[in-house]
Amino acid sequence: MIRTIFAASVAVSLSGLAALADPAVVMAPGGAGGGYDAMARLPFEAMAAEGIFTDGANFTNKGGAGGTIGLTEFVNGNRGNDNAVMSMGVIMVGGILLNNSPITLDDVTPLVRLSNDTGVIAVATDSPIQTVDDLVAAMKADIGAVSIGGGSAGGIDHIVMALVAKASDLDPAKLNYIPYDSGAEAVTALGGGAITVAVSGVSEFKPMADAGRIRIIAVTSEGRFEGIDAPSLTEAGVPVVAGNWRGIVGAPDMTAEGKAMWLDRFAKMHESQAWKDILAKQGWEDAYLAGDEFAAFLETEKTRIGEILKEAGLVQ
C-alpha cells in the first residue's frame, strides 16, 4: 500500500545543500498502524511541522518475515537513491537471522536511532512470583514449568527472557516461550493462568499495570523507569539491558552528500518541539544516536542478538 503526503513544494537549504525537489521515498517494513509504520511517518510529520523538510514523502508498507520483505524491496529498488530511507529496529536485526535473509543491514546506510521502548516483565496480580529472585528461582527449579508470553518467537520479548536465562546460568533453548499477537492477548492469558509471566514494552504494559490488571516485577532499562515501582533487571542482580529500539536507515550506496543531508535534517528534527511532542504522545523514549555512533551500535546489536538466538536454538 502506498500513501502520499503532499507538502509545500518550496526548496529549502540544509547545511548548504539544496533539498531534493521530489518527495522522499520511505519504506515502512511493517503493516499500517504498527511500530515501523509510525517510525516511518512521524519523523516526516515533525520535519514538515518545523519547516525542516517540506517536500513530502511517498510511503510504502511492506510487512512480513520480521521486516525482511520490506528490507529486500527497499534495497533492490533504491540503490544509490539519496532520497530513499526506511524505518527499522531491533526486531529486524533478529528477523534477518531468523529468516536467513540474503539482504541484511550491511546493505543499507545507517542514519539514526530515534526511539526506544523499555521492556517490562509482569505477572498476574495474585502470582506467587513477587520478585526477579522468585522468577529466577522458579526457572531454576523447572524452566519448562515457567511459561512465558510475549511477542513473536525470536523477537525482543523472547530475546529478553533468553538473556535472563543465560545470565542465570540456564539454557535459553529450554525456555517455554509462547508467542502472542499482542500484549493485550498475553495479559488475558496471564490473568487466566495460561502463562506464568508476560513480557512487553512499557508503552503497552504500564497502562495495564496502572489499571491493576498485572503487576510489573522488573524493567529492562539500565536503571529504574520513572513511574514504575519495580527494579531494573540489573538492579535485581540479573545484568540484562534491552529495549525495542527503532530508527532510520538510508538506501544502499547513498552518497556522502546525501547522508550528510539526512543527518542534518534528523539532527534538527530531534531538537524540535514537534518531535518531543510525538515522543510523549507515543510513549517512546528518546534514544537518539546518529551516523557512525548508530552504525557502531548496530554492529554490537547484530553480534549480541545473533549469539543469543543461536543459544536459544532459533538460528544455526
pLDDT of 197-230, one tens digit each? Answer: 999 999 999 999 999 999 999 999 999 999 999 9
Residue labelled with grid coordinates 512480513: 64
Check: CB of residue 315 under 8 Å from CB of residue 173.
Answer: no
pLDDT on residue 181? 86
Say if residues 129 and 214 touch (Cβ distance below 8 Å). Answer: no
Q: What pLDDT is attached to residue 225?
A: 95
Q: Check residues 182 and 195 and name the one with the higher pLDDT.
A: 195
Q: Is residue 194 scored above 60 in pLDDT? A: yes
Looking at residue 21, its pLDDT comes to: 57
Reported in sequence order, the residue ranges of the chain that DSSP labels E, i.e. its strands, are 2-5, 13-14, 17-18, 24-28, 57-61, 84-89, 109-116, 119-124, 147-150, 176-179, 197-201, 214-219, 246-250, 285-290
Per-residue pLDDT band for 29 (boundaries 50, 70, 90) equals: very high
Q: How confident is the model at residue 251, as a pLDDT?
A: 98
- For the chain, list the domains and their CATH numbers: 2-117+245-311 (3.40.190.150), 119-219 (3.40.190.10)
Res 183: pLDDT: 86
Q: Are 66 and 42 in contact (CB under 8 A)?
A: no
Mean pLDDT of the chain: 92
Per-residue pLDDT tens over the stretch 132-166: 999 999 999 999 999 999 998 999 999 999 999 99
